[in-house]
Each structure stands twice: as structure tokens, then as C-alpha cells.
């Protein structure tokens, strides 16, 4: 019989949402905003098709063969992220960005915070693709130390 | 340390059904994955080997050798097969992505003699995958 006990298994799931944002901070002058953020600072904002990758880990349940039921994970991500961000303006409609530039770095951290209380498995990390060429990953502040 | 990854694709059918549960429970937990005649996927398997390049060949592991291992251990066992009935290593287990990835890990680990098996990533679809690591081997970038 194959012994599989010591394997660390993670389940990864990808979700898509579309949202607009504008990279602008009142802490900088108009010229500084333009210099730092370039066209991302254009006054009326712009949008992206974001792809969110979520990884969770846990014991593989011997009855179901699953770390977590996908429908539970899907519902959790839908409720805590997609419903509130899909087809929204991140600056105007997501309170976390009322005083914080909605770069994808900050978006990553915000989404991680929203998902870390998923009850059925441990959130290992997330990755957000802003475009096919840019992606950002976040695993929480203590993740790295905990693994060593 | 170098990480090299080889990707293969295979197609297989499966069905999620646990005989220790009632039909209603199976339906509730597994949904359409419990449909009686099963269904299939195009699986994509990414196998990552970690190691130092051999000073003579410049290779961590000869990709031809890895290809042969994957052909013998995975393709011949699983490609165009029904995972519930034709893969003895999965007997008695629900053939979820988690369990298939674990079986693949166990099949491959001892066959990798140069470098070390670092990660098995199995995609059931582009939006659903499982990563498998031996505890403590995960590399944090």
C-alpha cells in the first residue's frame, strides 16, 4: 500500500473578475502622480480583467478525497471577493482603497485578508494576475517563517 | 539550486462516489461529479525536479530520462483510462485531483535518481489544480 501521509497537498483554484481602478494618491502633487503612476493615473481610471489564483492546504479527507469541497471555496470567494469587486471601481466601491492606492500589490494583500478566514482549509497564498504579463503573489506576513 | 519542470497531458475519466455514503449524500457532496456514468478531463501534469546541474552534462536530470519515467509511470497507467476501474493505485480512493496527485507523487519519487522531486502539480482544468510537496521541501521564493 502506498503511504501518502507525509505529503503536503494544496488545492489551487482560479477565478476571474473585471474591475476599474486609478493609481493616484492625494499625498503627491498632480505632477508627481503623473510621474510615478504614468497613464495609470489618468483621471477617469481604467480597468483590467483580473485573474485570482487561490491556494489552500489541509488534510485530504478520506471520505471525500478532498482538502475542501470546491463548492464551499467557490462560494466563499464569491461572497468575500467577487461579489464586491467584480464590475466595480476599486477606488470608489471597495472601502479598503478609499485611502490606499489600488495597486495590485495592495489588492493582493486585501484579498488575502478577506480569504484567510476560510474555515475549511488553510489559506496558503494567492496570486493576482492584473494582465497576462503582470502578476503578484502574497502569502501573508508570517507564512515564510512558519514554513522554515 | 535549479528547478526544472516537464509538462505532459493525459485524458482520463472518473466518477466521485463513496459506497459508504448514501446516494443522497454522494449527490450532495459530489454534485454532478457523482453522475452515474462518470465524465472525463484533459489533465495537465507539471513535474518539477530540484537539483544542481551536473558539471559534465550541465543537466540536473536528462529530460529524455524524465520523459521516459513519466511515460512509464503516468501515461501508460492513466492516459485514456477510467481512473476508478483501471488504476490499481487509486483503488478504494475517490479519484479527486488531490488523490491522483498524491499517487503520481508516490509513483515518481523513487524513480527520480538525479535531483529530487520537488513538486507535482496536476491540473484537472485550467482553473483547478493541486500541488503536492514532500513536507518541508517547499521552496519559498
Q: Indicate which residues of A carry an active-site annotation.
A: 40, 87, 130
- What's the pLDDT score for residue A102? 96
Provide the CATH number for the domain around residue B43: 3.30.479.10
Considering the domain boundaries, does residue A21 fall inside one?
yes
What percent of chain B stands above pLDDT 90? 94
Whether residue B138 is predicted with pLDDT greater than 70 in this model: the reply is: no
Residue A3 is assigned to a structural domain of this protein:
no
pLDDT tens digit sequence for B63-113 = 999 999 999 999 999 999 999 999 999 999 999 999 999 999 999 999 999
Is residue B140 pLDDT above 60, yes or no?
no
Q: How far apart, in whole angstroms, are the C-alpha atoms of residue A87 and residue A109?
A: 20
Counted domains in chain B? 1
Nearest CB among B89, B94, B130 relative to A64 is that of: B94
Question: Cell 484579498 identifies what position?
Answer: A111
Which pLDDT value is given to residue A141? Answer: 86
Task: Please report the ipTM that was assigned to this predicted complex.
Answer: 0.87
Asked if residue A92 belongs to a domain, the reply is yes
> Distance (Å, rounded) from C-alpha A125 to C-alpha A143?
9
Tell me, what DSSP letter sits at residue B139? P
User: Does A1 contact B at CB distance below 8 Å?
Assistant: no
Collapsed DSSP state (helix, strand, coil) of residue B132: strand
For chain A, the domain total comes to: 1
User: Does A24 map to a domain?
Assistant: yes
Query: What is the pLDDT, as a whole number, of residue B135?
Result: 73
In a domain, B138, yes or no: no
Domain boundaries, position A59: 10-139
Residue A80, SS3 per DSSP: helix
Q: Is the residue at B140 inside a domain?
A: no
The CATH number covering residue A78 comes to 3.30.479.10
Q: Is residue A146 part of a domain?
A: no
Instruction: Report the candidate in A83, A103, A78 with the shortest Cα–Cα distance to residue A93.
Output: A83
pLDDT of A143 strictly over 60: no
Catalytic status, residue B37: no
Please report the pLDDT score of residue B136 as a whole number.
55
The pLDDT score that the predictor gives to residue B139 is: 46
- Per residue in A93-122, pLDDT (tens digit) is 999 999 999 999 999 999 999 999 999 999
pTM (2 d.p.): 0.88
Decide: A56 and A11 in contact? Cβ < 8 Å: yes
**Residue A133 near chain B (CB below 8 Å):** no
Residue A147 lies in a domain: no
pLDDT tens digit string along B113-130?
A: 999 999 999 999 999 999
Query: What would the pLDDT profile of A6-52 be if each residue is shown by its tens digit?
Result: 799 999 999 999 999 999 999 999 999 999 999 999 999 999 999 99
Q: What is the pLDDT of residue A5?
A: 46
Question: Which residues constitute the domain of residue B116?
Answer: 2-132
pLDDT digits (tens, 9 = 90+) for B37-50: 999 999 999 999 99
- Taking only the tens place, the pLDDT of each residue in A41-89 is 999 999 999 999 999 999 999 999 999 999 999 999 999 999 999 999 9
**Please, is A144 exposed, middle or buried when counting C-beta atoms within 10 Å of its C-beta (0-12, 13-18, 19+)?**
exposed
Q: Which of B73, B97, B118, B124 is catalytic?
A: B124
The answer to the question of residue B139 being in a domain is no
**How far are the Cα atoms of A17, A50, A101, A123 from residue A131, in angstroms, in the given order?**
12, 7, 18, 23
Is residue A148 domain-resident? no
Amino acid at each position: 500500500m502506498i503511504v501518502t501521509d507525509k505529503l503536503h497537498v494544496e488545492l489551487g483554484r482560479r477565478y476571474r473578475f473585471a474591475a476599474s481602478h486609478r493609481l493616484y494618491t492625494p499625498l503627491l502633487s498632480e505632477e508627481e502622480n503623473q510621474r510615478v503612476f504614468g497613464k495609470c493615473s489618468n483621471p477617469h481610471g481604467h480597468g483590467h480583467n483580473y485573474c485570482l489564483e487561490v491556494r489552500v492546504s489541509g488534510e485530504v479527507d478520506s471520505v471525500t478525497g478532498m482538502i475542501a469541497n470546491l463548492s464551499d471555496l467557490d462560494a466563499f470567494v464569491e461572497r468575500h471577493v467577487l461579489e464586491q469587486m467584480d464590475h466595480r471601481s476599486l477606488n470608489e466601491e471597495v472601502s479598503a482603497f478609499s485611502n490606499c492606492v489600488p495597486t495590485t500589490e495592495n489588492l493582493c494583500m486585501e484579498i488575502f485578508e478577506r480569504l484567510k478566514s476560510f474555515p475549511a482549509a488553510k489559506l496558503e497564498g494567492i496570486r493576482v494576475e492584473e494582465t497576462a504579463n503582470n502578476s503578484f503573489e502574497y502569502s501573508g506576513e508570517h507564512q515564510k517563517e512558519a514554513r522554515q | 539550486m535549479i528547478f526544472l519542470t516537464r509538462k505532459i497531458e493525459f485524458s482520463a475519466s472518473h466518477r466521485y462516489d463513496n459506497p459508504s455514503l448514501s446516494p443522497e449524500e454522494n449527490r450532495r457532496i459530489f454534485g454532478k461529479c457523482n453522475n452515474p456514468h462518470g465524465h472525463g478531463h484533459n489533465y495537465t501534469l507539471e513535474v518539477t525536479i530540484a537539483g544542481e546541474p551536473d558539471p559534465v552534462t550541465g543537466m540536473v536530470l536528462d529530460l529524455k530520462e524524465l520523459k521516459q519515467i513519466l511515460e512509464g509511470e503516468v501515461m501508460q497507467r492513466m492516459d485514456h483510462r477510467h481512473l476508478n476501474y483501471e488504476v490499481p493505485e487509486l483503488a478504494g480512493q475517490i479519484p479527486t485531483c488531490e488523490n491522483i496527485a498524491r499517487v503520481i507523487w508516490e509513483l515518481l519519487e523513487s524513480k527520480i535518481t538525479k535531483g529530487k522531486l520537488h513538486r507535482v502539480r496536476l491540473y484537472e482544468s485550467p482553473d483547478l489544480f493541486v500541488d503536492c510537496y514532500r513536507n518541508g521541501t517547499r521552496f519559498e521564493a
